[in-house]
């Protein structure tokens, strides 16, 4: 009981929770004195308090993200204009927020291709999230314009496989290589509707507290960062199990 009290008190001090309003100055001084004495005797109390605080913050973050996913379910999973890779009728959906210039997104791309060939029942909703500068925006516009010609996946694969930057010249070269009408692509890249689609993706990412790319949503779980493909497969299997 004493250790539990000390951990709770240490957590209160660490988080700055209105302790000054809860106790008199004399009581606060006494608690601080008890804590200092206890920490000198057993420094692990502070480590345990930090661990408990981190775990509580992680639970709060996960709960908030689940609530946000539930609140924005239609924008996440049900936008008909969003490009889709894999099987459009797949029994599990992965939503991928990415930036063409993001090296971790490129790493994920290299692993997702083989996964989609192995598992023909995965639907991947692509959310272009150009957050790494003006050229990311240009590339994202090009991808959404390519979607109108039915070649989103082809240009996506080409740009994600680039060794250099997706410059205007590189985008044109890759677009023509995969069979796109570049004159049409260039015109449609400037369509305000495409920028509106990107703005909607950015607003959705903010609502979901996504802070970088890549970010995946599988079921009701948001995972930041490039996951190992084995972990993605495990999460897909768990999502399928929950559907039964």
What's the pLDDT score for residue 37? 75
Q: Does an H or E element contain 125, and which?
A: strand 122-128
pLDDT band at residue 1 under the 50/70/90 scheme: very low
Separation between Cα atoms, residue 76 and residue 208, nearest integer Å: 10
pLDDT at 5 over 50: no
pLDDT band at residue 10 under the 50/70/90 scheme: low
Domain 74-243 superfamily per CATH: Glutaredoxin (3.40.30.10)
Asked, as a colleague might, if the bond just before 214 is cis with ω within 30 of 0, I would say: yes
pLDDT at 211 over 80: yes
Secondary structure letter of residue 151 according to DSSP = -
Sheet holding 84-86, edge to edge: 84-86, 122-128, 92-98, 215-218, 221-224
Domain boundaries, the chain: 2-71, 74-243
- Residues whose CB is less than 8 angstroms from the CB of residue 166 and which lie 6 or more positions away in sequence, other chains included: 100, 101, 135, 136, 138, 139, 142, 159
pLDDT at 17 over 60: no
pLDDT digits (tens, 9 = 90+) for 136-195: 999 999 999 999 999 999 999 999 999 999 999 999 999 999 999 999 999 999 999 999
């Amino acid at each position: 009981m004493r250790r539990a009290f000390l951990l709770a008190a240490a957590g209160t001090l660490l988080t700055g929770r209105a302790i000054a309003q809860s106790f008199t100055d004399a009581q606060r001084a006494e608690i601080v004195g008890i804590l200092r004495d206890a920490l000198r005797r057993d420094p692990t109390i502070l480590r345990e308090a930090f661990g408990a605080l981190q775990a509580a913050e992680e639970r709060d973050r996960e709960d908030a993200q689940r609530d946000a996913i539930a609140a924005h379910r239609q924008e996440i999973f049900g936008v008909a204009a969003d490009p889709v890779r894999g099987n459009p009728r797949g029994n599990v959906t992965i939503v991928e927020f990415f930036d063409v210039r993001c090296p971790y997104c490129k790493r994920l791309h290299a692993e997702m291709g083989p996964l989609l060939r192995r598992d023909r029942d995965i639907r991947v909703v692509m959310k272009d999230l150009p957050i790494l500068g003006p050229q990311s925006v240009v590339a994202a516009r090009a991808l959404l314009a390519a979607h109108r010609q039915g070649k989103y996946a082809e240009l996506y694969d080409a740009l994600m496989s680039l060794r250099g930057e997706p410059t205007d010249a590189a985008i044109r070269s890759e677009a023509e290589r995969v069979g796109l009408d570049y004159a049409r692509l260039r015109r449609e890249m400037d369509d305000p509707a495409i920028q509106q689609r990107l703005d909607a993706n950015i607003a959705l990412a903010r609502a979901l507290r996504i802070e970088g790319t890549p970010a995946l949503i599988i079921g009701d779980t948001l995972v930041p960062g490039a996951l190992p493909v084995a972990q993605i497969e495990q999460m897909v299997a768990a999502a399928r199990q929950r559907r039964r």
